[in-house]
Each structure stands twice: as C-alpha cells, then as structure tokens.
Structure 1
Amino acid sequence: MSDEGYFGQYGGSYIPEILFNSQQQLIESFREAMADECFLQQVKSEMQNYSGRPTPLTYCGNLTQSVGGAQIYLKREDLNHSGAHKMNNVIGQGLLAKRMGKNRVIAETGAGQHGVATALVSARLGLECTIYMGAHDIKRQYPNVFWMKQLGATVVPVTTGSATLKDALDEAIRDWCTNYDNTHYLIGTSCGCEPFPEMVAGFQSVIGEEVKEQSIAQIGRYPDRIYACVGGGSNACGIFLPFVNSGTELVGVEAGGIGDGPGEHAKRFNTEQARFGIAQGYATRFLQDDQGQLQETQSISAGLDYVGVSPILADLEQQGKVRMTSARDTEVVEAFKLLMVNEGIVAALESSHAIAGGIREAASMKATDSIVINVSGRGDKDIFNVAKALNDVAFDDFIEDYLGEAAKS
C-alpha cells in the first residue's frame, strides 16, 4: 500500500473537502492505535471474551465423501457472536471510535450482519448508533432489522436507487458529511477512502492468522486452496491476506446471480460490464454502463449485492495472487442444502457462494489435497429467502396463519 492509501491503481481518497479533517484525524488515530500494545490487547480481549474467538476449523468428513476429491475444512466465522465475521471489524472500530472521543457511530449494511454487530458493540460501549439499510434489503433480511432496533439502533430505510447496499453506503457518507464532529463512520467492508480498506482488512486478518495455526495443527501444512465469498470483500481479505505468497491458492467467489446480462449479477471480475472507476470515496472495479453510471446488481444474498469491490482484492487479482470465480443463485441454494444435510451446518447465503465454488472444484482435486472454505456467517437471517427458493409451502402457510392470528389479537 502507498502512503496515499493506494493498492496499485486502486484505493485512494476521493471525498468531499468537508470530510478532509475528519479523515486525517481517523488516519492519525488509527496509526497511533495500531502502534499501541494496550489498544491491541484490548481488541484481542474483546474478540476472545465477548465475541468468542478463536473460531474453529471444522473438518467435514461427510461432505468430503459426498463430493469426492479434496478434503474439505470450514473456517467457522458463523460461530462469532452475532453470527458472522463482521464482529471482528466492529470491535476494532468501536474501540477506535471511543479512543477518538466520538459518541456516535453510523454504518451501512446489506445482509444486516454488519448492522447487528454494530448495534451490539454500540450497546456494549455506550455509543449512539444509526444504521442505513436499503429498503429492498430490509424486506428480505427483516430478522436482523428487528434485532438492530431492539438493541437501540436507529434503522434508516434507504429508498433511492436500487434500495440495496450501494445506496445505503451513499446515505451513510452523506450523514458523515453532516455529523463528522461527533460521528465515526463504522464502515462494514474493506472499501471506501483511506484508511478504511486497510483498517477493515487488518482487523479481519485474525481469520487467516488463526487458519495458519489451525491448518498446521490439523492438516500438517497450509491448505492447497482457500475459498471465500466476495461482495465488498472484508471476509475474503481477512482470510486471504495472511496467505498471500504462501503457496496456497486463494479463490474468491462472487455473486453470479441469475445470468450474465446487465443487472443480473454482482460480478466485478470476469465480466465486460466491470471496469476501473471512482465512486463512493475510492477507486476500484465497478459495474458500469457505457456512460460510466453504476449498474444495478442482483444476488440471492443481500451481502454480495454490491456494485464495487475492495481495492485490495482488485489489486491482488490484477497481480494474479487471487483468482476470481462466481456461483449462480441456483448453485448457491444447492450448496446451502448439501452442507446442511451432510454436516448440520446452516451457512449464510453469502457464505454458500464460497461453499458452491469450493465443492465444485474440490470434486476434481486429489484426495490428498485439502481446501478451506470461509463460512463468513450463519443462515438464520436467510430463512425467508431460503424458504422462497425452496418453494416451502408449509412455511408460507405458517406465516399466513401467524399473521392472521396476530391480526385477530
């Protein structure tokens, strides 16, 4: 990374002048905090005693036998407090906000996992909390919205644009521009202006550091491949970065959606619809039309339904250090089911993209090979989307009966 926050040609800072002083304070405070052993120990303690780290590396014997080929292991970020990897970053940024004297945090969220994690840590640290979430995402991830509100967070529905993650991020930036004196923008992924990509990826790298130790202990060496789903890119950065140049192949799995046409997917790689661009405070690969306008996206998973990608991952892919592939919605649902019935693990639909990519390729690998798939979150939040995808009539009947009884009372 350069001194200006660039990763190759990606990253940097493209922000309104009004945010410059606030950004400089954040950069200085972050650098000081990362050099302070007391702060680092405080982060480690919260990760262990509040969130429950380290998360296990689980061998999946039944799934391995069902798929054939490589031995399959899962990094269980779904077992973090709040049910996702998001807690790693939120703990770090929450403590940093307190260190800077900020009494309010704002955040954007797609699947709602970052929103829940932010609301949890805000409650623990005594911070005022506002969450921006696309109206479309609120409908498909309402269980998470419910818990955010119960935790005392203000959830603001965003109805502009496609009413998804991209639009929630825009609104969060507008809030930051207005309330920068007392507010820290607790961004949820490794995107945005300097120092957010580096900061989020740094706090998330605990995932890969743990896998290094766990794979040596359980496999006897580093895995041959590591798979992670890629939306903005925080869980992928977290598990990939400690393994860059280690000899382990790193594979990101994007949202292939329902097709390859405009608005049918959320792929920023292996598609002619994505190209270099500048938006939302930084430079990276964005899905754009011929006029450079950001395109609509589609995914069964709200957390991958994003038009851009981490500048860190864009640079690593360009260097050939990360390989990008994708999984269609139908393949994701099948992978979700296969993991569930074989191992009793209910993964988030975001994570199920990584499952789909991993098991697809594991089948053609040798039995002496091993792969690790990052299960970035659990699937409780996806119950409505999964029931719809599986055409579960009984679930629909239950909802109808429940709403009918509620109306009577």
Structure 2
Amino acid sequence: MTQIDSPSVYRADEAGFFGEFGGAALPPFLAAPIAEVAAAYAEASQDPGYLEELQALLAKYVGRPSLLYFAENLTRRLGGAKVYLKREDLNHTGAHKINHCLGEALLAKRMGKTKLIAETGAGQHGVALATAAALLGLECEIHMGAIDVAKQHPNVVRMELLGAKVVSVDAGGRSLKEAVDSAFGVYAAAPEEYFFAIGSVVGPHPYPSMVRDFQSVVGREARAQILEAEGRLPDALVACVGGGSNAMGLFDAFLPDEDVRIIGVEPAGEGLDTDRHAATMTLGVPGMIHGMQTKVLLGSDGEPAPVHSIGSGIDYPGVGPQHAHLEQIGRAEYVTVTDAEALDAFQLLTRAEGIIPALESSHALAHVAKLAPTLPSDAVIIANLSGRGDKDVDFVADRLRSGAPATV
C-alpha cells in the first residue's frame, strides 16, 4: 500500500480525526475490540510480509491493475472533454469492494479471528467478503436490509453459494443503516470470534483510514495510467458517494494535485425537496453515526433519517468523515444526481460503449454527462466505474417497463 506523499491535512490524526470529523465514539464493550483492530492494522500496514501477500492476491486473484478505458463513443456522444473510465467493474466479484475485503480478511486471520461479519447494501461488499472468506478459510455472516435482499436477489444467491450466512434485516427503514446496526449487535456479543469488516470509509477509527488505504490502489493505478495515456493529470475526477470508499480510493492519490478537481456525486433520489433521497453532503449536518463524527441526515426526532436511492449501495444517512473534511477545507466538491438521471446514465453507457454499469456508478456517469460538454475537447475526466450492473438488470428492466424516465 505504497502511498503518494500527501500533506497531513489529508490524513487523520492519532485519534482518527480528519479536522473535526472522525474519531471513535464507542460504548465501553466495543472500545476494546475496535482498539485491537486499530493496533493490528497499524502493525500489519508496516509488515512487508502482509503487504506482499495482499499485493499478490490483488494481482493474481483480483486481476489488478484494472483497466483505465478511454470511452471514445461516450466522449463523442457527449461532446467536450475526453472521458476515461477506471474499470473496477472488471475486478473479480465485479466491483471495487474486493480490494478492501481481501485486506480485512487477511488482517482477521492475522488476529486469529475465525469469522467475518459485515453489512451490505447493493450486495457487492457482501459478495466480495464472502469470496475472501471462502478463499482464506473463514466463516462469513452478512447482514442486509430486507428491501435490498429483495432488490439485489442475485447477489444474495451469490453470497449463499459462497458459503455465507445472509441475515435479512426488517427493522426501521430495512436498508443499509439498519444492516450496519444489526451486524454491530452480533459483533458486540462475540468480538473474540468475529472481525467486523466494515464495507466503506465509515465507522470508528481505524476503519475510515484503513479502508481508504486498501482502496487507494485505484487512484495510484489511475494516476500512473493517465500519465501514460495523456502525458498529464486529469482535469477532474468523478465518483459516486454513499459511504464513499470507491471515491476515496480514486481521490486519494490526487489529493496533493490541487489543479485536479475532485467531485463526489451523491443520490438526490426522488428529489431534494422530498424525504426520498440520501444527499448527506448536501443537506446533512454535523452529527454522530456508527461511532464517527461526520455529516448526517437527521429526521425530525434527531435520529438518522430514513433515506432512499435507486442505488442500494449508496442509500446511507451518513458519509465517510474524510469526505466531510475534504468538503470543509474546499478540496472536494459534492453534487447530486436523481434516480431518473442515474437510470438514464445507466442506459447511456450501456448503449454507447456496451458496458453495463452498476446503478451506484451510474450516478457518477450522470454527472459526467453534465460536466463533459462544459469543458474543452482537450480536457480529461476520469470517472470511477465502481461496479458492474449485472445485479441491477432485472430491477432496471422492471423500472423501464413501468414507465420510468428514459431520455437517452
């Protein structure tokens, strides 16, 4: 996990804070096991043997480096800037999630744990963790909101085929937040057996930094690849943001390059004027969720609000604390895309390039479709294609048959 040199303003302090965001606000019964994870990761991240084993798996099992693809047809269709796609959809298991799942699973084995436990929204983190567990001989338990269990049935089947236990969560909004709550409850009862493998750059320290480090391979590769392809850095990076792991993975290597615009795209759902969105960066306020101080969407009762997105992996009422910090210091900007715009972008890329994107990634593509025509033809955009859309095709087909917008 060799890092691009990055000023300390882009790194957490010893307590896990990025400026005023982050930390580890935990009840006493969780403080000790999470501190154990922090100590184990601090040691492993300096161990050449651990890093070499992870790098070997990324190369020989995942298939890294992933392709940086010049989307020539899409570029021509949109007009303006050249559009490159970082093809995380080509990874084994079909998304960026495998990058950190292998790192976390190796860390769990190093710590003597026998079981992995995690939440999942779209199912990609669950599939990746179940895959890592099968490869490394660990048990695996995945908690998933009941809405997402129904919506992402193919990924549920994949997890079960890989040997994972899938727990459907019917509490509250029956989505990603409730899946996190449920998984944490089981973990708290037996932390000596379980390793909690958080699926994004969220949660208590060390997870926001640890998951970012595992995902930073995306940006390091993209930086080298665009220098080879274009002889210069891009004008803009674009990635979808829920918790924000794929985005931080792409952004991290470019943080010191202040001429590179960094744009996170979050879900406006059915509209920012409704309660059916997950636009945490846009409408959230500083608050606490899942052991971290960050931006949170709050309901009238002062608790995290029920949220919605057509992309199950980004319907989360919080966000990674590093994203909140990057916005606060002006290094990154955050915009929104509606369900309808994401669905249109899904179809646009499918028809223009023969690439079926995940609905989560389609949010980034929808913003690219707005941004590219405003830039000159010698400008360059890199969008993170964080996952493939196999999991979404039945849902999209049903939406289109029901008359959902299709303007491409």
On whether the aligned pair clears a TM of 0.5, the verdict is yes
Aligned residue for 1:297, secondary structure, equals coil
Which of the numbers 343, 351, 354 marks the counterpart of 1:344?
354
Percent of matched pairs sharing the same residue: 44
Alpha-carbon distance between aligned partners in 2 of 1:359 and 1:75, rounded to the nearest angstrom: 16
Alpha-carbon distance between aligned partners in 2 of 1:338 and 1:262, rounded to the nearest angstrom: 26
Alpha-carbon distance between aligned partners in 2 of 1:376 and 1:248, rounded to the nearest angstrom: 20
2:281–2:319 contact (8 Å) kept in structure 1: no
In the TM superposition, what are the counterparts of 1:7-406 in structure 2 within 5 Å?
7-246=18-257, 247-271=259-283, 274-391=284-401
Quick one: which amino acid aligns to residue 220 of structure 1?
G
Quick one: which amino acid aligns to residue 263 of structure 1?
D
2:299–2:306 contact (8 Å) kept in structure 1: no
Gaps of 5+ in 1: 394-409
Alpha-carbon distance between aligned partners in 2 of 1:23 and 1:4, rounded to the nearest angstrom: 12
1:106–1:129 contact (8 Å) kept in structure 2: yes
The equivalent of 2:3 in structure 1 is none
* Deviation at residue 39 of structure 1 after TM alignment: 0.6
Quick one: which amino acid aligns to residue 171 of structure 2?
T
Alpha-carbon distance between aligned partners in 1 of 2:129 and 2:210, rounded to the nearest angstrom: 16
1:275–1:285 contact (8 Å) kept in structure 2: yes
* Deviation at residue 220 of structure 1 after TM alignment: 1.0
Alpha-carbon distance between aligned partners in 1 of 2:306 and 2:300, rounded to the nearest angstrom: 13
* Deviation at residue 290 of structure 1 after TM alignment: 4.1
Alpha-carbon distance between aligned partners in 1 of 2:402 and 2:45, rounded to the nearest angstrom: 49
* Deviation at residue 23 of structure 1 after TM alignment: 1.5
2:280–2:319 contact (8 Å) kept in structure 1: yes
Alpha-carbon distance between aligned partners in 2 of 1:290 and 1:139, rounded to the nearest angstrom: 28
Alpha-carbon distance between aligned partners in 2 of 1:221 and 1:296, rounded to the nearest angstrom: 43
Gaps of 5+ in 2: 1-11, 404-408
Alpha-carbon distance between aligned partners in 2 of 1:314 and 1:225, rounded to the nearest angstrom: 19
Quick one: which amino acid aligns to residue 131 of structure 2?
L
Alpha-carbon distance between aligned partners in 1 of 2:298 and 2:394, rounded to the nearest angstrom: 30
Alpha-carbon distance between aligned partners in 2 of 1:112 and 1:202, rounded to the nearest angstrom: 22
Quick one: which amino acid aligns to residue 275 of structure 1?
V
Alpha-carbon distance between aligned partners in 2 of 1:23 and 1:392, rounded to the nearest angstrom: 46
Alignment RMSD: 1.0
* Deviation at residue 93 of structure 1 after TM alignment: 0.4
Alpha-carbon distance between aligned partners in 2 of 1:138 and 1:312, rounded to the nearest angstrom: 29
1:262–1:295 contact (8 Å) kept in structure 2: no
Q: Deviations over 1:223-258 (max 9, x none)?
A: 100000000000001000110130210000001101
Alpha-carbon distance between aligned partners in 1 of 2:44 and 2:136, rounded to the nearest angstrom: 17
Q: Deviations over 1:261-316 (max 9, x none)?
A: 35211001222xx1011121111101003442111111111001111000010100
* Deviation at residue 384 of structure 1 after TM alignment: 2.0
Ranges of 4+ aligned residues in structure 1 off by more than 3 Å: none
The equivalent of 2:7 in structure 1 is none
Provide the aligned length of Structure 1 versus Structure 2. Answer: 391
* Deviation at residue 30 of structure 1 after TM alignment: 0.3
Quick one: which amino acid aligns to residue 83 of structure 1?
G
Quick one: which amino acid aligns to residue 17 of structure 2?
Y
TM-score after normalising by structure 1: 0.94
TM-score after normalising by structure 2: 0.94
